A = this chain, B = another copy of it.
Amino acid sequence: MRDETLWWDEERGSLFLVNQTQLPSRYEVVECRNVERLAEAILCLEVRGAPALGVSGGYGVALAARTSTTTSYSQFLEELERQAELLKATRPTAINLSWGIDRVLDRVNRENTLQNAKKAALDEAQRIAWEDADTCVAIGAMGATLLPDGCTVLTHCNAGALACTRWGTALGVIRSAIIMGREIRVIASETRPLLQGARLTAWELARDGISVTVIPDSAAASLMRKGEIDVVLVGADRVTEEVVFNKIGTYMHAVTAHHHQIPFYVAAPLSTFDPVSKEKEVMIEERGEEELRLCGDRIVIPENAGVRNPAFDATPLSLVTGIITEREVFFPPLDIPRILSAQPPL
């Protein structure tokens, strides 16, 4: 079992992913030899999580470059653009996917030969992956001191190693705090409908020997009332000056944490920050009804009842105590253009 969630195989010229739809029952690896297979993997959530989608986007352009057979440089660039659009359309809410794609496209566009461009695409994708791993460790270091020794942390969905190249954002902060010697217990809300909290967060924390207990999403507020949750810590799919977009249920946890005066932290790389979009301009992905209509093979909602299945929600920054990034912990309000234009520390 590898430490990484996704990696490039030089020999085969393909991207490998841990298939997250099979966990926790089976650890299975998927090989993506072209953009179409990667798009499928993203659509059916074999790979998911905002940072991992950023890395996947980068590798997607590298795959497009590797599989291109044209000898015309301009045609090559056109092909890459087309494949990039296909990839971007798979999941519209997380900003990281298009961020990773655009970063590799920009790099390719700065080259001047086909040969160089192909090499540059892979170089830049690899760089994104390495940076992602480093970024998570930096996020962990920035956030670890926010978790008091002996505390119980509620997390939602999976903002862990499986959502990144490795280590994780929210779960990375927990790992870093534990490495510092702090005792941390984790409560994972199961995260309906696809149960990423149960299937993925519980799996990767238990694998690492970290204490984790799964609860129904709806039980978190009640545990807060009983004083059994000290901190809430989640990831993010997109951070704007107004709101944090993250897995459906994040807003519920934020409101109930606020009601109980429990700190609510978001851990996310700066690549998740969106300096431009207004909340209403961001499309919230509505996923298929069958995710709720079926439980295993069993129909649990009658045909003549409606279903709504939004994948994400938006949490106003007024409910967020702090946003833990690789550079520092930001306390809202945020001036995102200024944050993004500032020089990173050496």
A residues engaging B (CB < 8 A)? 24-25, 188-193, 195, 198-199, 202-203, 205-207, 211-222, 225, 248-249, 251-252, 255-256, 258-259, 292, 295-302, 304-310, 313-314
* 8 contacting pairs across A/B (C-beta < 8 A): A189-B218, A190-B292, A206-B302, A213-B306, A217-B217, A219-B249, A219-B310, A220-B252
- Given A24-B299, A255-B221, the answer on whether A305 and B213 have CB atoms closer than 8 Å is yes
Residues of B contacting A309 in the complex (Cβ-Cβ under 8 angstroms): 215-216
Residues of B within 8 A of A195 (CB): 295, 300
Contacts of A301 in B (CB 8 A): 24, 190, 198-199, 202, 214
Nearest residue (CB) in B for A211 is B306
Interface pair B190/A216, CB less than 8 Å apart: no
A306 vs B263: C-alpha distance when bound (angstroms): 24
Majority secondary structure, A binding face: mixed
* CB pair A203 B302 closer than 8 Å: yes
Is A213's CB under 8 angstroms from B299's CB?
no
Given contacts A248-B216, A296-B296, whether A190 and B192 have CB atoms under 8 Å apart is yes
A336 → chain B closest CB, angstroms: 21
Closest CB in chain B relative to A100 CB, distance in Å:
27
**CB-based contact A305/B205 at 8 Å:** yes
Question: Which residue from chain B places its CB closest to the CB of A228 in the assembled complex?
Answer: B308
Which residues of B sit under 8 angstroms from A24, Cβ to Cβ?
299-302
Query: Chain B contacts of A308 at CB under 8 A?
Result: 213-215, 219
CB proximity of A286 to chain B, nearest CB, Å: 11
What B residues does A216 contact at CB under 8 A? 192-193, 217, 248-249, 292, 309
Contacts of A206 in B (CB 8 A): 302, 304-305
Closest Cβ neighbor of A291 among chain B residues? B216
Which one of A219, A249, A251 has the highest number of Cβ atoms from chain B below 10 Å of its Cβ?
A: A219
Asked if A305 and B252 make an inter-chain contact with CB atoms under 8 angstroms apart, the answer reads no
User: A215–B296 Cα gap in the complex (Å)?
Assistant: 18
CB distance from A28 to the nearest CB of B (A): 14
Give the distance in Å from the alpha carbon of A3 to the alpha carbon of B193 in the complex.
32
Complex Cα distance, B191 from A192, in Å, reads 10
Beyond A190-B292, A202-B305, A307-B213, whether A218 also contacts B299 by CB under 8 A is: no
Q: How far is the CB of A114 from chain B (nearest CB, A)?
A: 47
With A216-B192, A248-B216, A252-B222 as contacts: A295 and B292 at CB distance below 8 Å: no
A57 to chain B, nearest CB (A): 26
- Contact among B249, B255, B292, B296 with A198 in the assembled complex (CB-CB below 8 Å): B292
Interchain CA distance A306-B152 in the complex, whole Å: 14
Residue in B205, B225, B297 whose beta carbon sits within 8 Å of that of A296 in the complex: B297
